[in-house]
Structure formats: C-alpha cells, structure tokens
Structure 1
Amino acid sequence: MHQLVNDNLYETRNNLVTEITLLSDAQLNRKPEMNIWSIAQVCHHLFLVEQASIKAIAWGLKAGDSTQKERKEIQLFLLDRTKKINAPKIVEPDVEPFKVQRIIDLLNDSRNKLMTLLSSIEDASILAEKSVKHPALGELPLDLWIEQIYLHEQRHIAQIKEIKILLDVEH
C-alpha cells in the first residue's frame, strides 16, 4: 500500500485517540445539545464506517472489474464541514453510553482488521482498478475508499474539537 496513505491512516487515528484519551466517561458521553452527537457517538460512528469500508473493500476485491475509472476529488468534499452529510442507518451510532477504553478498543480492532486486509493485497494497483458504490460519494475506486477512512476521521476530529468547546472540556 502507498506509504503516504498508510502514514495518514496512522497519524489521523493517533490524533483521534489523543483527542479522547483524557476524557472522562461522562465527558465522552455528554451531548452538547439534543440534536448533536456525543463524542462517544462520533467515535462509534467512525468505528462503524471503518467496519463498513472494510466490507466494501473486501467485496470490491472479489468482484469483477469495475466500470468506474474516474477519479474523484473526495478530500474537498469530506473536509468541508459546512456541507452536512447524513449518516446512513447502517453507520448511525448507538445511543447507549460507552467507556473511553471501550471506544479505543473498538477503534483499534477495526484498524487492525483494515490493516490485515490491506496487507493481504499482493498487487496494490488493483485498488485503483476496482470500485464499489459509496453511500455519500457514489462509485469510488477502492484506493479512494481507503483514503476516505482517514479523511472522514479528520472531518470528525474537527467535530470532536467543537464538541469539546461546547462542553467546556480542556483540549
């Protein structure tokens, strides 16, 4: 896999874990407003998205050649938080409270599964040749599915920082 993508996955996840590690369980689960997710819910959503992305990438690798060859500029779309993207039901977070360590364990587990899948790919060029439909981004080559994982996390890290300000939590 491309080293820059690997570095971005690693760095972004470290930034996410740094944002939540020192929170109390109460801070993690407190909602700043009724219609805003708690930090726990944001993190659970990120876990669910990564799990769904792993399934999509694995499915795309097994599927025949794709018809989609067009490259999309997903970074601008995903990092623009002025554009709200409604989460599909399958990646909506639980409303039940989480412990900080449980969230970190879930995130570590899904990242380990992703890295195991990616390390099993003999020829990474196949990732640019096959595609799977993404719920928000449309037909997407598999290499962009990988990139959207860390870009999506970066989007939500910014959201977590905003939630911490709303909750008046040290950051």
Structure 2
Amino acid sequence: MNTTEALQRFEEIANHYIHELDHFSMDQLKRQPSENEWSLGQMYQHLINSALYMQLRNIDHCMESRGDSVATAAEITREVAAMFDQGSFPPVRIQVPPSPQYTPKQPESKELLIQGLNTVIRQMKQIEPTLEKASLQNTVSHPRFGALHAKQWFLLVEMHYRHHLLQMDRLKKALESTV
C-alpha cells in the first residue's frame, strides 16, 4: 500500500472511531472488562498517544536526518518485512503487563478523544506529501519491529488503528454482556 492509500484508509478508520463514540457513555468508555484489560477509552488514548508521541514523532526524526536519534539503514526481521508486505499486523491479541509507563490513563471526555483523533488526522495529512522525499536510509528503532524509515512509520499508524478494531469489537461485546 502506498502512503496516499494508507492516508485515505487511516482517515476512514479514524472517522469510524469518532463516530463510534456516539454509542458510548463516559461510564462505558471507562469500564474495564477486567483488572488487567484496558477500557475502550484507554484504547482510544493509546491510539492517539502512540500516533502523536511515537509514530509521527519518529517520522519527524527520520526526516530530520540528524545523527543523534536516527540509526542508519538497519535490517528489519523477515516477520516485520512480511507484515509490511501484507499491510497489516497479524490478527493476534497483544498484551503488555500493566505499568505506569505503558497503561493509558482513562479519558477525561469524549470531546478530548475527538480532538485527539482529529489532531492525528490533521498531522497525517500534513506529513503524507513530504514522505516522497524521505530517505529510506534514515531509520528510528521501534521496540518490537526494529529500525523503520519514515514511510514505514507512516504506514504503521494506519495498520495500528486497523489492528485495534479487533480490540474495540471485543470490548464492545464485553460491554453488551454486562447490560
């Protein structure tokens, strides 16, 4: 998938997340199915924060080409290369143990979630046209996937949002079972 297609798909998915908010009260957005699982609101926070403070920031680092935070052309694993070739994460649940550094806070309001998603959409639209001049040699390491270049970080945003649709479905079912 090219970056133009990824941007279009990302916008559709992000707008889907925005429209889904109409179906939930704040209580529902904050309800965790269990002590070790995120609420829908925490999932939204995760999507917004990971895009704004990791993925999009790392695109900027790749585009800057300074030597301090940018690694030069490192190999990614065969599994990660296959993931990018397929254009999606494997459909498996990924769980990280709860921790203050990783577990998102509960949302303060639906309005802030909508603002956050719209900010990500706006930044994705601003970044996409600049990617054609991005060097594939400038990479920033991802904790699980290895060194990614700017275009890969950009594609990762869409794949990440799409992957979390599975979590959203699971959390919606959990809410329905408690009614």
What's the TM-score bracket when you normalise by the shorter of the two chains?
0.7 to 0.9
The structure 1 residue matched to 2:173, chosen from 140, 165, 171, is: 165
Q: How far off is 1:58 after superposition?
A: 0.3
The structure 2 residue matched to 1:115, chosen from 117, 125, 129, is: 125
Q: Distance in 2 between matches of 1:146 and 1:47?
A: 14
Matches for 1:86-165 after TM superposition, within 5 Å: 86=96, 92-94=103-105, 96-119=106-129, 121=130, 124-126=132-134, 128-165=136-173
Q: Distance in 1 between matches of 2:60 and 2:11?
A: 20
Q: Distance in 2 between matches of 1:149 and 1:8?
A: 10
TM-score normalised by structure 2 residue count = 0.78
Task: Give the structure 2 partner of residue 10 of structure 1.
Answer: 11
TM-score normalised by structure 1 residue count = 0.81
2:159 is paired with a residue whose SS is helix
Q: How far off is 1:128 after superposition?
A: 3.7
Matches for 1:59-74 after TM superposition, within 5 Å: 59-63=61-65, 66-68=72-74, 72-74=81-83
Letter in 2 for 1:56: N
Q: Distance in 2 between matches of 1:135 and 1:69?
A: 14
Task: Give the structure 2 partner of residue 37 of structure 1.
Answer: 38
Letter in 2 for 1:45: H
The gaps in structure 2 that reach 5 residues or longer are none
Q: Distance in 2 between matches of 1:98 and 1:151?
A: 26
Q: Distance in 2 between matches of 1:77 and 1:126?
A: 20
Q: Distance in 1 between matches of 2:10 and 2:39?
A: 23
Q: For this pair of structures, how many residues does the alignment match?
A: 166
Query: CA distance change for structure 1 residues 147 and 4 in 2, over 3 Å: closer, same or farther?
Result: same
The gaps in structure 1 that reach 5 residues or longer are none
* Root-mean-square deviation (Å): 2.8
Tell me, yes or no, if the aligned pair for 2:43 and 2:104 is still in contact at 8 Å: yes
Tell me, yes or no, if the aligned pair for 1:127 and 1:143 is still in contact at 8 Å: no
Q: Which moved more, 1:44-53 or 1:76-85?
A: 76-85
Tell me, yes or no, if the aligned pair for 2:14 and 2:161 is still in contact at 8 Å: yes
Q: Distance in 2 between matches of 1:77 and 1:34?
A: 32
1:79 aligns with 2:109: no
Query: CA distance change for structure 1 residues 148 and 49 in 2, over 3 Å: closer, same or farther?
Result: same
1:40 is paired with a residue whose SS is helix
